[in-house]
A and B are shown apart, each in its own frame.
Chain A
């Protein structure tokens, strides 16, 4: 089916995501206006006005009442999702790269880049929904300083294990688990050679997939932090998602924006690639963007997906019936009995 082209942003996309129920689509871009769309019709519902820099990350709580945005203007803002009212702005000492709600929505974590003499930080703020907004403390409950000498930057943050730990990815290809109470490192792995651009979890947060500039995406067991699968491509991977209904992986990427013009070849390789979750085999592509895909999100109902690219467009795709009816290339059953 023809995708719906969402023309709302003026600069390259940084973030695309559905809310928990899958009826809203949130997008952020390097322009300063995070936007919410009707996930079914592609109609623009509204924008969240107030940031003065590129918005890197967003997170909407489970009940879709409150929205967090992380911006390069060194603030993280809390919004009323429905009205677009800015509830609170949390100032940081450097550009805020990522933001994530804790389970229950009473706490959230941010990661910020080092800036001037300030270290990169992981901060946890308390914003109980039942308390009045005025009572929210602008100083974080916990601050974890990332040592400056390594000059590594955090790229993603997620609460795991019923808010017991904080999962953070870094631009050197490593992943760490922090204790949310003490800030100590619980576990650390180093699965990628280059920057981890994005990490995306399944709904249950039992599996996650990392997208890396080393041309691969890797699937992990989120409980034991064990790598399960590797999806190899011929380009840097900017974002990848696990299909909620099929054993598929959707993966987007492309040459870095700066090297597009210097790269040989007719195609810039800006397609969304489809991989089989288990066999690691690529079986399809969806073309359309004319810049590297920066963000991909799949609707929790598995019927549609959205991709946002360097070209400033969000393409909202609804799967054809043939895709939805597609069966596993290997028939179900143990295969001993021929099933004709």
Chain B
């Protein structure tokens, strides 16, 4: 090779050193096929072979042992020849090793030895764990968001959440001004997080907002910026329910009936307390596969209970252990309800054999039977507690002996009175709806001659009656008589409204006002706002095709909405989606339409004032009224200034422009005058102002005047 040739080739030569490295097969250093069998008897050298052969026999039953180990498995021993009590066995495949681990682990080798089988790789991992424990540094304290901030809203507004399209928004409303957006999840959207793609749920006192993401579970949010509080993992979750005190929550998946279809959680810590299958027993499932019996919370977060067959299982919170380790026996139970104000259970059972149908009140945890009422010829009982637990109303659907005709009667328990007396009210008509007045003693019901009737009657009853009688007062012998008004416990009819288009009743949370609505497919969506104290209809309105009606917690605003279900029935409810807000007098405040509207939910707010305090406020209403009025005006003013700022700018800009144009026009005045032959139409002197008086005779009267 000449130098010249080398130069020619120089360009093709690499400057790097030539590395000669043959492609060798890579040594597999993993021990996936090897298991460690430990907790063996420690045997002297003489017995080594015996032990090995026994173990090989066992191992060969579950898989194929590697040929080499077949002959001599590795069993380490000490200087004295005694084995250490463990041995290595390698299988042909890692699958066999896994099988061995599963099958042989826990095998009772002899009286004293239960053998352990662990994969060698697992054992190796143990080596990496440091011998000394190092304390983990505590993560810095992060205050959890203040979940009661909204209660301190200076404008005393109530909030509601709406779900439409892909949006979830919280708005403020106070019944006099436009609802104001509080939060729309913008921060979540910006960070690429979908914070709700199913329904949302407020906690019972409104502190927390829970959103359902069926693919993942439930997330709770709180604080002024709706920060994520906790995550509750539950695949295919459909509903979430909070306990009345918000301490606990329950998530349910109806889709797959596994052993953890229902999960009970601690709301604050996010800890799973216990999970349950959908049905308490297999036989229950067959009986009524459609609706599993619900878990119900007691009023003060102490218990949660579910009915089973002839029993009610009551669990204590937070341990979720069965109360006194045994269920409450309730023969033939069909349904139960907790009192909303006391730990009292009410349940009813239909007739069974010789036993009559009965309604039972049981006190918990004493399990004392407070009251039992036997009934005959019962088809169904609907129980409804008064919101303060004062009364329990039971609508009893009864049938005649032939079971051909049915009729209703009401059994009303006065729970707070001695001996719990029961009032009976007979109603011939079919009763559709029965509602207690919140914080009152009245109830209302919708009834009609037959179920198919398009027009119904609405009746109001009072559990108390005002009775007046005259009484002698003062010292003995005095004839001074005084009229005394007394409230006595006596069920009485207040009034009946005839011929109403109504199938649902919605009492205001403040009592007295009731909205009678006709909802559903065949109804017009009429709404009648009725004042029960004075028995006057304040307004009759309509929200066409309305599907839902709800009051805000204060009873100031009523919302009506047309929502479509998030699953199924899509086409049926596609039209007229949206919501309307009304004042409690029936004045329309707001109408909002959406293409797809799914949910409207007021943020619950518990009244924290005692009954006495409320009375006091009512007495001094005037004082408060002025104060609130003044603040309202101030707020309106501030809002107004805010809104008008943009308009002011527009206006001044426009006026400037007009001013410029006007100046241009005035500049041409002389020219214009010439064009009009010297006549200046701008000159006011060209106009003569004349005042004309016109007299019109309106009336002429003739009368005689007496002459003097």
Contact = CB atoms under 8 A, between A and B. Distances in A.
A222 B664 CA distance: 11
Interface string A271-308: 00000011100000000000000000000000000000
A330 B648 contact: yes
Interface string A191-222: 00000000000001111000000000000011
Secondary structure at the B interface, as helix, strand, loop or mixed, is helix
Interface residues of A, number: 29
Contacts of B668: 162
A223 B663 CA distance: 12
Interface string B644-675: 11011011001001100110110010011001
A20 interface: yes
A279 B648 CA distance: 10
A206 B659 CA distance: 10
Nearest to A206: B661
B654 A278 contact: yes
B647 A223 contact: no
Contacts of A221: 657, 661
Contact of A278 (B650, B664, B675, B677): B650
A63 B681 CA distance: 9
Contact of A334 (B648, B672, B676): B648
B637 A338 contact: yes
Contacts of B657: 221, 228
A330 B644 contact: yes
B647 A330 contact: yes
Interface string A226-260: 00110000000000000000010000000000000
Contact of B662 (A20, A204, A277): A204
Contact of A223 (B637, B661, B677): B661
B647 A103 contact: no
A205 B661 CA distance: 9
B654 A277 contact: yes
A335 interface: yes
A163 B675 contact: yes
B681 A338 contact: no
A147 interface: no
Given A62-B681, A104-B675, A228-B654, A279 B647 contact: yes
A328 B654 contact: no
A104 B676 contact: yes
Nearest to B675: A104
B644 A206 contact: no
B639 interface: no
Given A62-B676, A103-B675, A330-B647, A223 B664 contact: yes
Interface in B578-609: none
B541 to A, nearest CB: 19
Given A62-B681, A163-B675, A338-B637, A279 B664 contact: no
A206 B658 contact: yes
A221 B654 CA distance: 10
Q: Which 9 A-B pairs have the closest CB atoms?
A: A206-B661, A104-B675, A330-B644, A204-B665, A330-B647, A278-B654, A103-B675, A278-B651, A335-B648
26 contacts: A20-B681, A104-B676, A104-B677, A105-B676, A162-B671, A162-B672, A163-B675, A204-B665, A205-B665, A206-B661, A206-B662, A206-B664, A222-B661, A223-B661, A223-B664, A228-B654, A247-B651, A278-B647, A328-B651, A330-B647, A330-B651, A331-B644, A334-B648, A335-B641, A335-B645, A340-B637
Given A278-B654, A334-B648, 9 more contacts: A163-B675, A206-B662, A228-B657, A277-B654, A278-B651, A330-B644, A330-B648, A335-B644, A335-B648
